[in-house]
Structure 1
Amino acid sequence: MAEEAVLGYLEKNEEISDSGKFAEEKGINHDEIVNIIKSLNGFRLVDAQDIKKERWVLTSEGDLYAKYGSPEVQLFSAVPPEGITREELQEKLKASIYKIGSTQAIKNKWIEMGKSQVSRKVQHVDDKVRSLLVQIQNGEVISSEDIDALKRRKLISSQMWKGYSVKKGPKYAPKRKKVATDLTRENLQRGDWKELEFKEYNFLAKGQPTEGGCLHPLLKAWLLWSFVSYTYVAVRRQIQMIFLQMGFEEMPTNNFVESSFWNFDALFQPQQHPARDSHDTFFLKEPSTTRRLPEDYVERVKRVHESGGYGSRGYGYEWKREEANKNLLRTHTTAVSSRMLYALAQGPFAPKRYYSIDRVFRNEAVDRTHLAEFHQIEGLICDRGLTLGHLIGVLHDFFSRLGMSKLKFKPAYNPYTEPSMEIFSYHEGLQKWVEIGNSGMFRPEMLLPMGLPEDVQVIAWGLSLERPTMILYGIDNIRDLFGHKQLKMMNAAASLYRRISIRELIASPSVYSSASDVSGEGLSLVFRRWATKKTAGSTKNGRDSLPKNLGVKKFGGERVIPGNIIVRQRGTRFHPGNYVGIGKDHTLYALKEGCVKFERHKLTGRKWVHVEPKEGYEIHPVYASAGAAREMKTAA
């Protein structure tokens, strides 16, 4: 109907000057007319030009006044000729009507408000406000003075109206011809493509939006918006921050190639174990073997495998050094844990909490829940007096922070842990319990040959990064995490990112307790979003017991992102004084490794909060990209 109306009108007239008025005259919805004009314009049957007008519409309050009258008139009508008490008048009207109406009626000199009595000063009034609002509803024009008056009372608001003026196009016809959009196989077979008229390409039309430019959910960096005090964290970074909140420190995992000794033998895993078979492990051809192993430790491991020790009978087989020397792609990051525990045993014992997140490799068949290459998350706690109850409690704490509260534990067997447990979480997409990790307590046959004290226990757990990502994003096929499909998944699942309070993220004692201890002043370090051009310091001055707010320092053209703090750097690359703002990730590490000091500016006397790194200080690689690390080393 709308198409016939537009084309039929243009057949007898030169143009449609205003699509809005045309729709009103024909009794057709304007949106329908607009859609037809756009379609006809694409086929060049008409030429359309935009028309933009500012028009006034009533607010919700204005709608009420247009329907029931203005508050001042409602109040005036409620006052009888003989007058009324204030209490009675308030009972007759709503509180908002009484408040606004009394103000406007007194301003218009319609009523007289005494201490207890309200009386009329005039006997008749016209509701001009309601009349103006009705005129605007009907699309009539009113004076600019009246517009300003209604705007001040927030009864109207401006709205941009868009329409079209339409003329005949170069291919105008009273009726649209049917055109083909695609050349099909049937057209070629029948030969009717010679008579068909094909639709022209519209090179001005917008194509389908590309889904490129997204970061992978496993590697996505976090975004900090300190203005609203919330952090949007993707899975990998979220897990890192959870470990940091729980007081863990990261293990170096930069060696994908590992020896069989650290990957298997040091973990009390027998050499005839099926996992060491080529069907489950990728062995290296070149270099095929390792040359550097701690010989005294190798002998102790060999002895406990062959004949036992430390209360164990061992496996009772002939342990072969050539098997332990084989190089492979590590099958789990527990190989890194064995190295770290051995290094810990070489000095006086101190309790430790370690974690790692990195790639591991398994020679497995690929299906919807398994990949040959994936990321493993590992955490371990080394201390005295640890039990299986501690492990279960830590796992509940860890996974609940990830948003996975439905957990089950099942007894399992691992060569290097006893007791051992498999960890299951309920997957809403698959509607079943999915194994997400393994856990247990490291065996004495593994720990004591390293040199750790007999009363020290280690609880540990490991899981793939992909499994919790699938659960959090509602993905039922692990292969969808890789390739083009994961881009669509990320766009659809962006709303699922957890929001973690910055106070939770930063104010955890495990993050900066060492910095507070060094300062010796009992000061609370709090991040604030504020910056000045050439000053920095505390937003609260006074006694040292008051909280100190870490600010942002800007030197000339040096760009510093809000949320950073001031860190003392050596060298002359930056402004004289060598103060530069660094990112919050770097800052957290600096607060743990550096020395927090509170000083006064030599010229202004204002207090400054900064971190002076130790001798030979470097930003830890987990908190800095390679470029950032080089920049920090240059500054140092």
Structure 2
Amino acid sequence: MQKPSFEELFLKQLPFESKNLTQEQKYAFNELKRRKEVIKTDIVTERNIELKEIYNELIKAKLSFKNIIDELSPSMLKDNSWRNKSFRRYDIKINVPSISGGRRHFVNEAVAYIKKVWLEMGFKEMQGPLLQTSFWNFDALFTAQDHPAREMQDTFFIKNPEKGKLPEKRFVDGVKNAHENGFKTGSLGWRYKWSPETAMKNVLRTHTTVLSARTIAALKKDNLPAKYFTVGKCFRNETVDWSHLFELCQVEGIVIDPDVNFKNLVGYLTEFYKKLGSEKVRIRPGYFPYTEMSAEVDVFHPVRKEWVELGGSGIFRPEVVKPLLGIEVPVLAWGLGMERAISMYYGITDIRDLYKNDLKQLREIKAWLK
């Protein structure tokens, strides 16, 4: 008769405590563990508790806790029942679990503050849909129909519905003439044949400046002077990385006033960023198709010790204003990146961290206080 193996002997002698296994049994145990559903292992934790001598003395003393209270209630204060009683001691250094109350998302806190700043400066808020025709998103802003910004690699075009409606004929004719010949502004325009079919294509708005164009078109001479702002989403066909998002927020503003000039533009931007905590603001020359003069807006990063670009600004060209408003009047305009400003305040180095909704970050991040 064949001699039984270590494994067979082990199975017949189960159960075992692992601490009592012999070398042969340990070998059999390890071999059987490699096989599926042959043996089951339970982990049992044993704890031995021993009272120190002082606790035995306390038990013998038969202490009474009837006159010890945990908290002081309004009724105790009223009937004086707290008198002649002792309060339980609390260890204020002991580790306790943190309690996180409900609060706004820190990005929403920043948005609310930014809106408050512009409202306090006398601006009205403008709003509009995320889906726009290319007419309002590009053409009304004097962006040529062959401009690289209108390519698929930069813009999200909509398949359904692929096209939208053009506005009133007077706006269409004005914008068409601005592109083709300058529309009585002294400009030669872009000097090409403007296509209404191209202007009808639907896109996700690539900037909030589209709202500025629509707001100007809705104004009348009697409404001037006027100041508007918005804080809204826009979309770019970007590769997402530490400094780029395909969905971003822009802080937009316009001032339509016959008496304003470039110095006023610098003043508005400087005041805004000071209210956001940036003392050093730099305005330097830039280029945008729909503004002249054009300027980039930089603020000094106190930690990185360098200037950081936060947006663009300028004065709308007559080719933008006259077809929409009917007259030439200075329009100060700016479009500022909100995420970068927020990242600087919170010390966030990866812009994606603004929206990842990490619970630990949301609970621990400081409130937006200015």
| Pairwise same-fold verdict (TM > 0.5) | yes
Q: What's the counterpart of residue 352 of structure 2?
A: 479
Find the aligned partners of 2:133 and 2:51 in 1 and give their Cα distance. Answer: 84
- 2:250 counterpart (376, 381, 406): 376
1:218 corresponds in structure 2 to 107
Please say if 1:297 is aligned against 2:171. Answer: yes
The yes-or-no answer on 1:489 pairing with 2:361 is: yes
* 1:52 and 1:160 in contact (8 A); partners too: no
1:332 matched to 2:234? The reply is no
TM-score by length of 2: 0.73
The one-letter amino acid of 2:89's match is: W
Distance 1:451 1:160, change over 3 A: same
Q: 1:236 aligns with which of 101, 111, 122?
A: 111
CA–CA separation in structure 1 for the residues paired with 2:355 and 2:304: 19
- Residues 388 and 16 (structure 1 numbering): CA distance in 2 closer, same or farther, change over 3 Å? farther
Distance 1:316 1:459 in 2: 26
Contact 1:51 1:162 in 2 (8 A): no
Match of 2:226 in 1: 352
User: Which residue pairs with 1:274 in the alignment?
Assistant: 148
AA in 2 matched with 1:410: R
Distance 2:110 2:249 in 1: 12
- The Cα shift of 1:464 comes to 2.4
1:265 aligns with 2:139: yes
CA contact under 8 A between 1:50 and 1:162: conserved in structure 2? Answer: no
Give how far 1:478 is off: 0.8
Paired position in structure 1 for 2:89: 161
Q: TM-score, normalised by structure 1?
A: 0.44
- Aligned runs of 1:171-250 on 2, under 5 Å? 213-219=102-108, 234-250=109-125
Q: How does 1:197-596 map to 2 (within 5 A)?
A: 213-219=102-108, 234-253=109-128, 255-308=129-182, 309-345=184-220, 347-454=221-328, 456-485=329-358, 487-494=359-366, 496-499=367-370
Counterpart CA distance in 2 for 1:310 and 1:297 is: 15
Is the Cα contact below 8 Å between 1:249 and 1:355 reproduced in 2? yes
Is the 8 Å Cα contact of residues 166 and 172 (structure 2) preserved in structure 1? no
CA gap of 1:395–1:14, structure 2 versus 1, over 3 A, is closer
Distance 1:243 1:271 in 2: 33
Aligned CA distance change for structure 1 residues 349 and 241 (closer, same or farther; 3 Å): closer
Give the distance between the partners of 2:332 and 2:134, measured in 1 at CA. Answer: 23
Q: Hey, what's the Cα distance between the residues in 2 that align with 1:268 and 1:300?
A: 11
CA distance in 2, matches of 1:212, 1:318: 60
In 1, distance between residues paired with 2:201 and 2:286? 28
SS of the residue 1:413 aligns to = coil
Q: State the AA in 1 paired with 2:357.
A: H
Deviation at 1:452, TM superposition (A): 3.8
Cα contact 2:282–2:299 (8 A) shared by 1: yes
Cα deviations across residues 174-212 of structure 1 (Å, max 9, x unaligned)? xxxxxxxxxxxxxxxxxxxxxxxxxxxxxxxx9976869
The letter for the 1-side match of 2:324 is M
SS of the equivalent of 2:207 reads coil
Aligned counterparts of 1:332 and 1:237: Cα–Cα separation in 2: 20
Q: SS of 2:278's equivalent?
A: coil
Partners of 2:213 and 2:285 in 1: CA distance? 23
Q: C-alpha distance in 1, partners of 2:315/2:278?
A: 23
Matches of 1:9 and 1:354, distance apart in 2:
74
Distance 1:50 1:250, change over 3 A: farther
Q: CA offsets per residue over residues 591-620 of structure 1, 9 Å max, x none?
A: xxxxxxxxxxxxxxxxxxxxxxxxxxxxxx
Contact residue 251 and residue 336 of structure 2 kept, 8 A = yes
Letter matched to residue 323 of structure 2: P
Shift in alpha-carbon separation, 1:18–1:249, aligned structure 2, 3 A: farther
- How much identity, in percent, do the aligned residues show? 39
Could you tell me which runs of 5 or more consecutive residues in structure 2 were left unpaired when the two chains were aligned: 1-48, 70-82
Distance, in Å, in 1 between the alignment partners of 2:206 and 2:90 is 63
Assess if the C-alpha contact under 8 Å between 2:135 and 2:166 holds in 1.
no
Structure number with greater CO (CA < 8 Å, separation at least 6) is 2
Secondary structure class of the residue paired with 2:287: strand
Deviation string 1:518-546 (CA, Å, 9 cap, x unpaired) is xxxxxxxxxxxxxxxxxxxxxxxxxxxxx
> Structure 1 residues 412, 160: closer, same or farther in 2, change over 3 A?
same
Amino acid at match of 1:497: W
Is residue 430–residue 476 contact of structure 1 (8 Å, CA) maintained in 2? no
Tell me by how many angstroms 1:465 deviates. Answer: 2.2
Q: Does the 8 A contact of 1:349 with 1:452 survive in 2?
A: no
Q: Between Structure 1 and Structure 2, which shows a larger proportion of strand residues?
A: 1
- Do 2:236 and 2:247's aligned partners in 1 also have CA atoms closer than 8 Å? yes
In 1, the alpha carbon distance for the partners of 2:64 and 2:241 equals 55
**Alpha-carbon distance, 1:430 to partner:** 4.2
Instruction: Give distance in 1, aligned partners of 2:171 and 2:293.
Output: 25
Q: Distance in 1 between matches of 2:351 and 2:271?
A: 25
Question: What is the alpha-carbon distance in structure 2 between the residues aligned to residue 498 and residue 401 of structure 1?
Answer: 11
Residue identity matched to 1:368: W
| Conservation of the 8 A alpha-carbon contact between 1:422 and 1:435 | yes
Cα distance change, pair 400–14 in 1 and its aligned pair in 2 (3 A): closer
Tell me the distance in 1 between the aligned counterparts of 2:89 and 2:100.
32
Distance change (3 Å), C-alpha of 1:322 and 1:497: same
Distance 1:235 1:429 in 2: 20
8 A contact 2:230–2:253 mirrored in 1:
yes
- Distance in 2 between residues matched to 1:263 and 1:475, nearest whole Å: 31
Measured against aligned partners, the alpha-carbon deviations of 1:386-434 in whole angstroms (never above 9, x if no partner) come to: 1111100111111111212221122110000111111112234544322
Equivalent pair of 2:234/2:248 in contact (CA under 8 Å): yes
Number of aligned positions between the proteins: 302
CA distance in 1, matches of 2:101, 2:133: 39
Deviations 1:533-576, CA, capped at 9 Å, x for gaps? xxxxxxxxxxxxxxxxxxxxxxxxxxxxxxxxxxxxxxxxxxxx
Structure possessing the higher radius of gyration over alpha carbons: 1
SS at match of 1:322: helix
Match of 1:342, as an amino acid? A
